[in-house]
Amino acid sequence: MLELRGIHKTYEGQPLLRGVSFTVAAGETVCLLGASGSGKSTLLRIVAGLERAEAGQVLWDGEDLAPIPAHLRNFGLVFQDYALFPHLTVAGNVAFGLRMRNLPRHEIRTRVAAALEQVKMGAFASRPVGDLSGGEQQRVALARALATRPRLLMFDEPLGALDRALRDHLLEELRGILHASGIPAIYVTHDQDEAFAIADQLALLHEGVIVQQGAPEQVCAHPVSAWAAEFLGLGNILAGKWLGEGRVETALGVVEAACETAAGRGASVALLIRPERVKMGGNGSRLKGRVSDVLFQKNGYRVTLENGLFFFAHVPPQVGQEIVFSVEVECLATESPS
Amino acid sequence: MKKLSILLSSFFFLLAACTPQGPAEQAMLAPATLTVMTHDSFAVSEDVARAFEQAQNVKVTFLASGDTGAALNKAILSKEAPLADVFYGVDNTFLSRALEAGIFEPYSSPALAGIPAEFQLDPSNSLLPVDYGDVCINYDKAWFAERNLPVPQSLEDLLNPELNGLLVVENPATSSPGLAFLLATVAHFGDPGYLDFWADLRDNGLVVVGDWETAYYTNFSASSGHGEQPMVVSYGSSPPAEVIFAETELEDAPTASVIGPDTCFRQIEFVGILKGTRNRALAEKFVDFMLSQTFQEDLPLQMFVFPVNPQAQLPEAFVKFAQIPSQPARLDPAVIAANREAWIAAWTETVVR
Amino acid sequence: MAQGNALGAARGSASASKIAHLQSQIQLRLLLWLPPLAFLGLFFFYPLARILVTTFDPAALTPDNFHITFSALRFTVYQATLSTLLTLLLGLPAAWLFARFEFPGKSLLRALTAVPFLLPTVVVAAGFNALLGPRGLASFLFPLSSFQFSNTLTAILTAHVFYNTTIVIRIVGSALAQRDLRLEQAARSLGADGARVWLHVILPGLRPSLLAAGTLVFLFDFTSFGVILLLGGPAFATLEVETYIQALHMLNLPLAGLLSAVQLTCTLALSALYTRTAARMRVQANPRAVFESARPPRKGSEKLFVTGLVALLALFFVLPMLALPLRSISRLEAARGERSSVQFALSGEYYRELFINRRGSLFYVPPIRAALNSLGYAGLTVALSLLLGFPAASALARPGELERWLDPFLMLPLGASAVTLGLGFIITFNRPLLPENGPLNTGHWKLLASPWLVPLAHTIVALPFVIRTLQPALASIPERLRDAAASLGASPVRAWLAVDWPIVWRASLSAGTFAFTVSLGEFGATALLARPEYPTIPVAIYRFLSQPGGLNYGQAMAMATLLMALATLGILLIERLRAPRGGEL
């Protein structure tokens, strides 16, 4: 449905977006994940028509949106700070987009009520928005965007200002609402937990380009680079030296890895060791390390070794204890610096 | 409350400390101070004023207080604690009002002996005449010459249809020459005859503006403003002023006055000693000084008025270019005081509304 | 309390400290209110009350007088309403232009729009006449459209727009620059086109500033004096003009007092209405709001808007004023009293002549001295009005019951007739302020005879502006930010410097600009109160214009040019002092 092709944008003389391309399919929520300042919000505003790209195209069902101004695109946008109109009530805010479409008054009333019910804010209709808490304001902002039945919804770090419990709760609701309505969405965040909780597709924005797009499980299983693996928090990233014949020399010692590298012996490679793939005392490569820290977390213990490696264990070792363990190592592309 | 009083007193102490002259020590060492209250058109040559100060060992301070009406009001309202010793600038339209307010002390100056009786309108000598000026219609000489139009010689001539839209006057409610010209018409046509004249004048395209500055500089064609009307209510002394203050030297005045019978109204300005002065002797000296030949000869070029003292020599430009009407319009100050408001109100009804 | 159990004692001391806190709050408020109220009380309310009481006369309450008062009131309200609407009509796009776009000559044009505010009416009339008068530029360009400008309602309205647009540009402009850009983006993404974004988002957001600017403009038009008298002509009289006529030309003080009282009552009612409406509209600013900085026009429609409006402003504001400097260097050649054929020649003669005391007058003042007098009075006015306005604005920024009650009274100086107040001053300050034998002996020194009275009078007029400009800025200071600074270890002083100061500094600059212009251009009170030895530039201009002769006229134009140059320079300088970008929040 939505397709971005080679979007370029500079900001104060510095290239910010350098040819961004990705697609959003019908009914799909794409989570655009990138570090702060990577240009995610700018990209959203370009899609919304609020800013103009210097090069590239935004297409909807194959049609170039360039000549269509923001107010005719029918894309909903939800801001981090909600951007509710302070001079209007809750219902007035939700009705705004409907009034702009010159809908009959009774239809506005029913659709406002429905949208507020959808976000469980029906009881607040006549309240001024200044009285609401952050979470309540975000619900109103969502209802305002939903009420116009946009063909695309865009979220710009919508939950960034809320506490964790509320965020998890709202994410769940939002996912339900998005799936129920079938509206495709772009969700921008820098928080990978949030991304995994909502995304049908992940798109990783790094240094002005989309470095990877795919289903979350696929992106997780095959991170395209060391940066992607680290940014997604997949585990330990190690630098290593290729010794050939499936062997790599690392700070932990020599490990086995199936790197498909064309480079010769001595070339540097990046490795990923997922914490769940570290086994204490199991079979495989016999590696040694001293425990430097043990931290209880909800589902077990996080064990950190003096060589920096971390993993999870159900039975915690003692701090200072010398342990033996085995690892499964994946080879990563190195073109992105970590 | 204590804080407030401390704050206030320190504030005023500061104010007092910053005044240029420390009044307390000045009283002992420096010459006495004489304060003269006047309107803001007052002017005097520096050397003339200094000569008086030196002769009398006195420092004269002038308080300018707006136009004639404002200055007089200021004097009346502050009569319980007078701000000044001498007041100059009451004219004959305000004379009765000023005398009724009882703010002046009589002083029969010996200098009055040389002043013609026609100027001495106050028999009690509380207010003594200093100067006079005639409010006349000024006209643009070149304008009339070019068009070969006859210059009006009387008030009635102004109704000539050929002069439609050519006269600008000031509103008598807001302007002193405007009021003077209204009084001239009252003197000539009587009450209520003057209103018929004004109605006819209005129908003949009369232009009315708020003040002399606008009338002269915006509307009058012979002034530097180059307006549309070749006739304006101004002063008999305006033609010599045009020569004296010309951009390039002029051999003749570009304007002249209409000096037919009753076309001009004579304004006389008076000086008086304010009741309650602590410097009666010095105040008398100052009044004498204003009537003296020195001051009287300084008057024309400073304020563009004529001296009441017949001994005073007029400057050359005045002799050459100023015309003095032989038959100016006159009204008794008491009649003016009694009817002023009614005349202005009736005029406004007739001409403006 | 000391004998109670531990919990009770703790609770007791907590409430005691709360009371102590409350008390110190009240004390702080009183301390803030003391200077401005003491000042206004002594120099405004007391003289005003005295003159109204002195002139009150039941005999003045006649049907005739009520008729005069009512018809003056009707016209006053009528012309002020029309003028205010027209001023907003021009001021709003102009404010948008200055807040939104960068273009060459922007700061100069912005400063120039403020200059009319301080030009004497006579000079403005001369400028307009040069442009629109019978022999003006307009009649030269459109020879068929011979129309009468002065003595019409059009002249009054045009002059009011000319004078007061700067108020809208400044007050609404700063609100426009502070508005939250994301609200507009949200509106556009919800389907609002440009016009509807304006109507439904930007305008509602501007309501408080529009209300403040509109109220100030309305009050200025409501109490308009010179424009009505000189440009409107005798057919029009506002309450202020009628008061002047009755007090100074009819010497009918009881009627003047009645007119003054009606005008004051209207002003007070209007200010009270403003305060109540403004309180309802107060919207907490979002500290994370996204602001937009001015940029050059990009789209074709933007370029058209900028070019068109700049041209219009230049035409309307610069051309009439340009007539003065042009006239001040052009000499009319005239020989033998014939002045019908006009020939122009350039000349610096009028400026040279300014430095010559031709008549040897005692009251001659060189232009530099007049300029220094003007600047001195203006400087004192700026200092005094900021000093007094700042505490009042701080108290008003977080209004309590006391503030809501006091607020309307602070606007009252704008509604007081200069004539009435002047007469009030006379009966109040014509005697020594302190007992002559008291500990602070000031001898015979009387405030009324002192040059100090001029900046005091100017401060009274400037104070409502200063307070109205400072108050919204002080109210917008996010308290959370100050708390954050404190939690990061900043002492109260350093927290104030880091958080409040940048905002306070900018607001003080615009407030100071208002005080500066009010003082520089003020004539009425100055003429009534100034000593002839210390004339200001406007007083000097009137002195020249009160005598016939081309030289006097030329010197008046030269003096007016000097005033304009001084004002433009002053405003440009003050605006240069704006905090650097990094200091903004």
Nearest residue to C575 (alpha-carbon basis) of C166, C215, C162, C165: C166
User: Could you read off the pLDDT tens digit of each residue along chain A, which spans 338 residues?
Assistant: 899 999 999 987 888 899 999 999 998 999 999 988 888 889 998 999 888 899 999 999 999 998 888 888 999 889 887 888 888 899 999 999 998 888 999 999 999 999 999 888 989 999 888 788 888 888 999 999 989 899 999 998 888 777 788 888 888 889 998 988 899 999 999 888 889 889 999 999 998 899 999 999 999 888 888 888 988 888 888 888 888 777 888 888 888 887 776 667 778 888 888 888 888 876 655 788 889 998 988 778 889 988 888 888 888 888 888 888 888 888 887 654 33
pLDDT at B30: 57
Chains C and A touch (3+ CB pairs under 8 A): yes
Q: Provide, rounded to the nearest whole percent, the portion of chain B with pLDDT above 90.
A: 43
pLDDT of A20 reads: 92
Q: How far is CA C566 from the centre of its chain?
A: 17
What letter does residue B312 receive in the DSSP assignment?
Answer: S
Distance CA B251, CA A212 (A): 96
Instruction: Sort C342 into a burial class: Cβ within 10 Å, 0-12 / 13-18 / 19+.
Output: exposed
Report the C-alpha gap between A174 and C327 in whole angstroms: 72
Closest C-alpha to C445, from B230, B305, B17? B17
**Secondary structure element (H or E) that encloses residue B199, with its range:** helix B193-203
The CB density around residue C579, as the number of other CB atoms within 10 Å, is 15
pLDDT, residue C478, reads 66
Q: At what angle do helices C453-475 and C367-397 cross, to 10 degrees?
A: 40
Which pLDDT score is estimated for A82?
A: 81
Using CB atoms, pick whichever of A79, A101, A130 lies closest to residue C191.
Answer: A101
- Residue C173 phi, psi dihedral angles, 5° rounding: -60, -40
Cα dihedral value B22, B23, B26, B30, nearest 10:
110
pLDDT digits (tens, 9 = 90+) for C345-403: 566 777 777 777 766 676 777 778 888 888 899 999 999 999 999 888 888 877 777 77
C192 pLDDT above the threshold of 60: yes
Are B283 and B86 within 8 A, CB to CB?
yes
pLDDT of residue B13: 39
Contacts of B212 in chain C (CB under 8 A): 546
> C42 in contact with B at a CB cutoff of 8 Å?
yes
Of B62-66, B261-265, B293-297, which gets the smallest average pLDDT? B62-66
Q: To the nearest 5 percent, what fractions of chain C are helix, strand and coil?
A: 75, 5, 25
pLDDT score at C441 = 40
User: Is the pLDDT reported for residue B214 higher than 90?
Assistant: no
Taking contacts as CB-CB distances below 8 angstroms, the residues of chain B near C248 are 66-67, 69-70, 73
Q: What is the pLDDT of residues A66-100, one digit of tens each?
A: 888 888 899 988 988 788 888 889 999 999 999 88
ipTM given for this complex: 0.79
Higher pLDDT, C438 or A112: A112
Closest C-chain CA to B35: C449
Would you say residue C139 has pLDDT above 70? no
> In sequence order, what DSSP letters do the residues of B63-95 get, joined into one string?
EE-SSHHHHHHHHHHTTTS-S-SEEEEEETTTH
**φ, ψ (nearest 5 deg) of residue A136:** -65, -40
State chain B's mean pLDDT as an integer: 85
Chain C residues in contact with A156 by the CB 8 A cut-off are none
pLDDT tens digits, C491-502: 777 777 777 777
Residue-wise burial string across C492-523, b where 16 or more C-beta atoms lie within 10 A, e elsewhere:
eeebbebbbbbbbebbbbbbbbbbbbbbbbbb
pLDDT > 90: what percent of chain C?
Answer: 9
* Cα(A38)–Cα(A208) distance, integer angstroms: 7
| Cβ contact, residue pair B246, C331, below 8 Å | no
User: Tell me, what's the pLDDT at C202?
Assistant: 87
Distance CA A137, CA A86 (A): 11
pLDDT (0 to 100) of residue B9: 43
Q: Does the CB of B15 have a partner CB in chain C at under 8 Å?
A: yes
Tens of pLDDT, residue by residue over C64-75, are 888 889 999 999
Among A147, A184, A222, residue whose Cα is nearest residue A47: A184
Q: What is the mean pLDDT of residues C123-148?
A: 61
* CB-based contact B8 C42, cutoff 8 Å: yes
Contact C550 B208 (CB under 8 A): no
Can you give the pLDDT at residue A288? 83
Note whether C280 contacts B: Cβ–Cβ < 8 A. Answer: no
Q: What pLDDT shows up at residue B15?
A: 42
Between the CA atoms of C294, C296, C298 and C301, what dihedral angle is there, to the nearest 10 degrees?
A: 80
pLDDT band at C7 (very low <50, low <70, confident <90, very high): very low
The size of chain A, in residues, is 338
For residues B27 and C446, the answer to whether their CB atoms sit within 8 Å is no
Neighbours of chain B (3+ CB pairs under 8 A): C
Give pLDDT tens digits for B70-98.
Answer: 888 888 888 877 888 999 999 998 898 89
pLDDT range class, residue C143, cuts 50, 70, 90? low
The pTM for the full model equals 0.76
Interface touch C250/B78, C-beta < 8 Å: no
